[in-house]
Amino acid sequence: MSNRILPLELIDKAIGSPIWILMRGRTELTGILRGFDDYVNLVLDDAVEYSPDPRDKSVVVRRELRAEILLNGNQVAVMVPGGTGPEDSMAARST
Amino acid sequence: MSSAATDATQAPEKAGSSSASEQNKRSPSDFLKAVLGRPVNVRLSSGTDYRGVLACLDGYMNIAMEQTEEYVDGQLTSKYGDCFIRGNNVLYIASQRR
């Protein structure tokens, strides 16, 4: 009938795979997507957080949370299915 | 609630295609049931961390915690026996599973 794919269907297909989340502000996270709801609150396993160092905002700190997390959908800006984090981005490769 | 954002015409197709991933799916409400009463780390969008035992929470992510330790920029700054966190400040809730 239709071959349209709804945005959240795309995210549903990413369940069980790595996903890269860009938050409002400068925080980014990666992890294995376990599930989500209609508000796009996300459950991530083995999450890794990339956030600016509180002492020197130009430095990004990588933090392995080693746990399952529930991420507030309110703060989510962009999701990249299959993405493995800022180290993988064009900006990181060019430096 | 879970069907609110689903286009009604797409629902049968979605039910068929999601059955394979349904088994290892873990929705936010499943997560919240699993972490109630367990030690958690709550990160606010300001960067402040609250570690303690999750006493209860609601759909707004308002949180009541016990034996709470407050970490500002990674430094322990305060301890609270009981504390309440308004949900709009919450960036994530992490279980202390490992």
> Domains in chain A, please, with CATH?
7-94 (2.30.30.100)
Model confidence pLDDT, tens digit, residues B21-32? 455 778 899 999
Q: Are residues B42 and B64 in the same domain?
A: yes
| pLDDT recorded at residue A93 | 56
Looking at the complex, report in whole angstroms how far the Cα of residue B80 sits from the nearest Cα belonging to chain A: 23
pLDDT tier for residue A2 given thresholds of 50, 70 and 90: confident
**What CATH number does residue B55 fall under?**
2.30.30.100
Q: Are residues B18 and B54 in the same domain?
A: no
Who's near B64: CB < 8 A, 6+ residues apart?
Answer: B54, B55, B56, B57, B82, B83, B84, B85
Q: Are residues B41 and B77 in the same domain?
A: yes
The shortest CB-CB distance from B2 to any of A25, A37, A70 is to A37
pLDDT tier for residue B98 given thresholds of 50, 70 and 90: low
In a domain, B87, yes or no: yes
Q: Are residues B71 and B91 in the same domain?
A: yes
Domain that holds residue B60: 36-95
Residue B47: DSSP 8-state: S
**CA–CA distance from A25 to each of A32, B21, B80 (Å)?**
22, 32, 28
The shortest CB-CB distance from B21 to any of A16, A55, A72 is to A16
Predicted TM-score of the model (pTM):
0.80
Q: Which residues of B touch A67 (CB under 8 A)?
A: 41, 94-98
Higher pLDDT, A89 or B41: B41
Model confidence pLDDT, tens digit, residues A53-93? 888 888 888 999 888 999 999 989 999 999 888 887 666 65
In a domain, B31, yes or no: no
Q: What is the ipTM of this complex?
A: 0.84
Q: Are residues B21 and B40 in the same domain?
A: no
Specify the amino acid at residue B39.
P
Phi, psi for residue A74 in degrees, rounded to 5: -55, -35
Looking at the complex, report in whole angstroms how far the Cα of residue B86 sits from the nearest Cα belonging to chain A: 13
Q: Are residues B21 and B46 in the same domain?
A: no
Q: Are residues B53 and B12 in the same domain?
A: no
| pLDDT recorded at residue B66 | 95
Specify the amino acid at residue B57.
L
Residue A85 · residue A30 · CB < 8 Å: yes
Q: Are residues B42 and B87 in the same domain?
A: yes
Q: What's the CA gap between A83 and A89, in Å, rounded? A: 9
Q: What does the radius of gyration of chain B's CA atoms come to, in whole angstroms?
A: 17
Mean pLDDT confidence for B72-81: 92
Tokens of A47: 């999450």
Q: Which residues of B touch A59 (CB under 8 A)?
A: none
Q: Are residues B54 and B89 in the same domain?
A: yes
**Number of domains chain B is built from:** 2
Residue A71 · residue A42 · CB < 8 Å: yes
Name the closest residue on chain B to residue A39, using Cα atoms. B5
Q: How many contacts (CB atoms, under 8 Å) link A and B?
A: 90
